[in-house]
Amino acid sequence: MSQSKNAVELCALLVDEIYGELTSRIITILLRRGRLQIQPLGRHTRLTRRQLKHGLAILIQQHLVFFHETKSSTHYEANKDAAYNLIRTGKVLEVVENKFGGVAKDLVHSLFLMGHAKVPDLFEAYESGDHRATGDFGVSEKPATNGVNGHTNGHTSAHELRQTLVKLLDAGFIAPIYNQMFRSPTDLRNELETDLQASGGAFDGGAKGPKKKTALRDKLEQQLEDMRSTRPAWEGKGRKRDREIDSNGSNGSAKRRRIVEDGSDNDDDLKGDLLLNGDLTVYLNYEKLAVALRNQELVALAHTRIGDVTSQVYDKFLALLEPVIDRCQEHIDGGDGTTIRLKSVYNALPENVNVSLGIGKIGKDKIDTGALDRPQLKPQSEIEEDGDDDEDMIKDIGAVRPSVPQPRFIVDDDNPHDLFASVDEEERRMDDLNNHLRVLLADEAPFLRMCFDNEYTVDFPELVEYLKDKELAFYLRECFGPGGHRLVRVMQKLGKVDEKQLPQIALMKQKDIRTKLAEMQMAGMVDIQGVPRDASHTNARMIFLWHFDEERVKALFLEKIYKAMSRHLQRLDIVRRKNSGIVQLSQRSDVLSGTVALTEEQTNLISDFRKTESKFVLQISRLDGLVAIFKDY
Amino acid sequence: MSKRGGRGANVLKGANFEYDTEIKLDVKPELDFPIHPDLKKQSAPSEREARVLRNFRAYQSTVQAGPIYTHPTKRDTDAPAKTFSEEQFNKQYGVNVKADFDPFTGVDTYSKKYDPPKQTLPNLKRIKLDRKLFPKELWDVLAGASGDDIRANISRAGERKGAMIDANTVTTNGASEVDQKDMVKLIDKAGEEGEGDDEEANSENEEEEPQDETYEDDEDGGDYNAEGYFSGGEGDGDDGDDTAGGDDY
């Protein structure tokens, strides 16, 4: 996140919203001023030393502030991303609940409260029931569709708790803390650089000359990357791919399937118990959680573009890929990157997903699937395309049949008689599944890429780029109408366009074009460049070129979203103040305990306020979805 | 009203303005914040979004009820959110109980004991912190030995107040002889300075005191502690619902 005014304002407001005023005041100054020691921090915040220390302790505990300690001084620096991530709390809890059930959600909730915690402390916090506060928004209280939610109110055995934690650690959502996480990335870099220079060798006495500087930078990157991989990894993380797959399908039948190469369950538990008894301190790994959130977003995209069943298939596919992706925006090599075989998807897919639905039935001769059967070793962006003909042809694909016969045997330890199920049935299921993957393959959005026969992968950068373009197009259309959007598309395709040519290309009137372009220029969406045709520099002898700078517009758009989110929070505060009387009344201990009953009017007032409040938070969380697409995924 | 019409007729020759009683102007005063011409209604939350909302709200309310939340101390809650300088930004915060006391709503009532407690400092005692993971200069506020020292200091300040009322307590509180002498001096001083005691307790622990803040003394100050008779002295007297209500009338 850039150090923009809007972002700073938003982060301060978010911290205020969650952790209260003291922490927010400190982080505001840290965000505005950058690194500070405690004395200047006191000068700028006008807080007493005691208040500062308390505030900083909380901020460090919640990972909102980095610190850097040397012999003589301690510097503090705000962690912008962590501050921003506060808005995702609800989403993270939802994603965890969806995947691992109610106990896991409550565990994560406790960990959110604690920042980072030793495992026994975490369990204790869970037992003490910090999580049992209910969110009394004006929304109907329906349990998650997952069916595992029933645990929340009952007692959870220690064993179950451990198992859940092991699952979360395995998934990477919770991770052991590591040394460097309390230091800011810049500090870490500087430290490494001094170390490198002090250690002698090639960089003794500082890097001089551009060549050496590049070498130093490369070396630093390398070391930072190494550091990332040498973090104290959770033991169970070794076997990344083809791990245990829980098949909690949509109707909640918790039937467990596993793939042959996986170990047994008891083994996992034993190891987990051993590790959890120790001094393991854990924190919430937002990088990994962002991956899960991204998957959710992509599945939603598949759902809107294609359909329910296909999106379920895609969900399983992404779930298989998830263990190998540690963070979003990680560079994954195309081709030799991780691929998922059709069979793995088949094995992972729960029984209750009826893959025969959601696909049209057309005879094989009616469609040409040639383009789909061609494996593509590299992402689209890296290949020079020879033409768009193939794409046009495959757009209307209905059903296709696989050209390669599929292996038929699956091992399922819960249902051994599956082995003897009718071969026809299985082949048909495999066919249907393959068809779903092909529908994904053929879609305009680059959901999948086939690397080899029946081995697929996802090019996340391209897919996210597609999402960005889609959102940006939607925004431009909303703000500047179809005309403005059309002009932008022309400019996107042709680059810089002469104003005189635009009417012919865009098929619009010159007058309309001029007004629209001027309007968009005022909003900063397009820009103009004048090129004189001769030395006289008169307007008549000038070529005016319009262009659309996508990167700039995306940055502008992001800023606008930040600003909108800030305004929502401020407005929410005003609404809160207007209703402060009734809100305070509802928080009184005698009202909460039920000794004093509220009148009907008061109850109505409170529920009205809650509804308004939830509208604001909903809008902010929707805007956050956009920020995620443009910044994080 | 008819007078106005007549006057118009007098001023302009030939023109006869009759006051039209039927006339209805379709001009309204312009709103300060005009309604957006193309405002779309927010769509209802989906099931997933509803869960997200509930989770967020649950987390927020747990934090607010817990030890790490600090309640707002803004003096003027209606002041515009926009500030132009650090000084202005800082000025809006901080409450001096005595100076900002509101005589109309500030007086504690019996029902105030039901209000949720307001804290201006996070309560680090109630959370488990691993001090190895914090910079050394923060260690003294974290729970532990040195943290207890400060606690002791604060309670000593409270005891001194008690000592001023009842001289006997000085001998029974087991302080060393040097402390006793100090105490006697303090009592002498207290006669001249009166209320200056709080500030002194502060300056013992902090080298820098930029603002006159109230101290978080959750230790009971004996029966002299009249301020915190109901709430432990924490309340800043500003309930929030006493916003300068003038504009309603």
Same domain? For A67 and A28 the reply is yes
- Please give the backbone phi and psi of residue A75, each rounded to the nearest 5 degrees, phi first: -105, 150
Q: Name the domain boundary from A458, A492, A525.
A: A458
CA distance B224 to A431: 84
Considering the domain architecture, whether residues A162 and A271 belong to the same structural domain is answered as yes
Q: Indicate whether A93 pLDDT > 90.
A: yes
Structural domain includes residue B225: yes
Of A55, A577, A584, the CB nearest to B243: A577
Alpha carbon distance A78, A64 (integer Å): 6
State the average pLDDT for chain B: 67
- Lowest average pLDDT, out of A227-231, A251-255, A396-400, A582-586, goes to A251-255
Q: Give the pLDDT score at A26.
A: 93
Are A346 and A412 in a shared domain? yes
What gap in Å lies between CA B58 and CA B181, rounded to an integer? 54
Q: Six-digit token pair at B121?
A: 């400092």
Q: Return the bridge partners of A629, or none.
A: none
Using an 8 Å CB-CB cutoff, list chain A residues near B209. 48
Regarding whether A491 and A413 lie in a shared domain, the answer is: no
Is A14 part of any domain? Answer: yes
- Cβ-proximal residues to A560 (8 Å cutoff; 6+ apart), any chain: none
Rounded to the nearest angstrom, the gap between the alpha carbon of residue A596 and the centroid of all alpha carbons in its chain is 44
The nearest CA of chain A is from the CA of B227 a distance in Å of 21
User: Does this complex have an ipTM over 0.85?
Assistant: no
pLDDT digits (tens, 9 = 90+) for B115-160: 888 888 888 888 888 878 888 888 888 865 444 555 566 666 666 6
Contacts of B243 in chain A (CB under 8 A): 577, 580
Q: Same domain, yes or no, for A120 and A242? A: yes
Residues of B in contact with A293 (CB under 8 A): none
Cα-Cα-Cα-Cα torsion A17, B56, A474, A466, nearest 10 degrees, comes to 110
| Residues A399-418: tens digit of each pLDDT | 343 443 333 333 344 444 44
Distance CA A272, CA A287 (A): 23
Calculate how close chain B gets to A58, using CA atoms only, in Å: 7
Q: Is A74 on the interface with B (CB under 8 A)?
A: yes
Compute the distance between CA of residue A78 and CA of residue A30 in angstroms, rounded to an integer. 6
A53-67, A151-165, A183-197, B175-189: least confident range: B175-189
- Looking at the fold, whether A277 and A314 belong to one and the same domain comes out as no
Three-state SS letters, chain B = CHHHHHHHHHHCCCCCCCCCCCCCCCCCCCCCCCCCCCCCCCCCCCHHHHHHHHHHHHHHHHHHHCCCCECCCCCCCCCCCCCCCHHHHHHCCCCCCCCCCCCCCCCCCHHHHHCCCCCCCCCHHHCCCCHHHCCHHHCCCCCCHHHHHHHHHHHHHHHHHHHHHCCHHHHHCCCCHHHHHHHHHHHHHHHHHCCCHHHHHHHHHCCCCCCCCCCCCCCCCHHHCCCCCCCCCCCCCCCCCCCCHHHHC
Residue of A44, A58, A563 to mutate, interface with B, max B Cβ within 10 Å: A58
Cross-chain residue pair A60–B134, CB shorter than 8 Å: yes
Which of A503-535 are b and which e, b meaning 16 or more Cβ less than 10 Å from the residue's Cβ? eeebebeeeebeebbebbeeeebbbeeeeeeee
Q: Is residue A93 part of a domain?
A: yes
DSSP 8-class letter at A36: B
Q: Distance between CA B228 and CA B247 in Å, rounded?
A: 33
Question: Is residue B11 included in any domain, yes or no?
Answer: no
Q: Which helix or strand (DSSP H or E) is residue A250 part of?
A: none
- Asked, for residue A104, whether it belongs to a domain, the answer is yes
The CATH number that applies at residue A504 is 1.10.10.10
Cβ contacts of B88 on chain A, cutoff 8 Å: none
Strand partners, A452: A455
Query: Do A153 and A15 share a structural domain?
Result: no
Which residues of chain A have a CB within 8 Å of the CB of B114? 588-591
Instruction: Give the integer Cα–Cα distance in Å for B171 and B210.
Output: 35
**Interface contacts A/B by beta carbons within 8 Å:** 222
Domain housing A119: 86-178+235-284
Based on the domain organization, do A567 and A621 belong to the same domain? yes
- The answer to the question of residue A272 being in a domain is yes
pLDDT surpassing 50 at residue A327: yes
pLDDT at A524 over 60: yes
| Residues on chain A touching B62 (C-beta within 8 angstroms) | 109, 113, 130-131, 133
For A554, how many CA atoms within 13 A lie in the half-sphere containing its CB? 15
Nearest CA in chain A to B50: A139
Query: Based on the domain organization, do A319 and A275 belong to the same domain?
Result: no
Query: At residue A176, what are phi and psi to the nearest 5 degrees?
Result: -70, 145
Same domain, A116 and A243: yes
Which of A58, A78, A98 is the endpoint of a domain?
A: A78
- B117 to chain A nearest CA, in Å? 10
Distance between B147 CA and the closest CA of chain A, angstroms: 11
Chain segment A479-504, per-residue pLDDT in tens: 899 999 999 999 999 999 998 889 99
For residue A116, the chain B residue with the least C-alpha distance is B129
Which of A367-371, A455-459, A490-494, B228-232 shows the lowest mean pLDDT across its residues? B228-232
**Number of structural domains chain B divides into:** 1
Residue A350 pLDDT class (50, 70, 90 cuts): confident
User: Could you tell me which chain B residue has the CA closest to the CA of A612?
Assistant: B42
Q: What's the number of CA atoms in the CB half-sphere (13 Å) around residue A55? A: 28
Q: B130: domain range?
A: 70-234
Q: Of A94, A146, A250, which to mutate for an interface test with B (greatest number of B Cβ within 10 Å)? A: A94
Q: What is the pLDDT of residue A125?
A: 85
Distance separating alpha carbons of residues A304 and A319, to the nearest angstrom: 19
**A475/A445 same-domain check:** no
For residue A77, what are the β-bridge partners? A66
pLDDT value at residue A368: 65
The amino acid sitting at B195 is E
Q: Which of A360-374, A460-474, B20-34 has the lowest mean pLDDT?
A: A360-374
Residue A345 lies in a domain: yes
* Interchain contact, B241 vs A581, CB within 8 Å: yes
- Which of A168-172, B190-194, B220-224 tops mean pLDDT? A168-172
With tokens 């952790």, the residue in question is A19
Residue in B232, B209, B198 with CA at minimum distance from that of residue B94: B209
Counts of helices then strands in chain A (DSSP H, E): 24, 13
CB contact under 8 A, A182 and B133: yes
- How far does the CA of residue A138 sit from the closest CA of chain B (Å)? 9
A260 pLDDT more than 90:
no
Is A248 in the same domain as A148? yes
Burial of B15 by CB count in 10 Å (0-12 exposed, 13-18 middle, 19+ buried)? Answer: exposed
- DSSP bridge pairs for A282: A117, A176
Nearest to B141 among A32, A53, A573 (CB): A53
* DSSP symbols for A261-292: TS--HHHHHHHHHHHHHS--EEEE-HHHHHHH
Which stretches of A136-257 are DSSP H helices?
158-171, 185-198, 209-229
Cβ contact A54–B66 (<8 Å): no
> Which of these three, A410, A427, A458, is where a domain ends?
A458
Strands, E, within A519-606: which ranges?
Answer: 527-532, 542-547
B79 occurs within a structural domain: yes
In angstroms, rounded to a whole number, what is the distance separating the alpha carbons of residues A226 and A224? 5
CA distance B73 to B94: 5
Task: Please give the structure tokens belonging to residue A282.
Answer: 């854990």
Q: Is residue B92 part of a domain?
A: yes
Is A63 part of a structural domain of the chain?
yes
Number of domains in chain A: 5
A481 belongs to a structural domain: yes
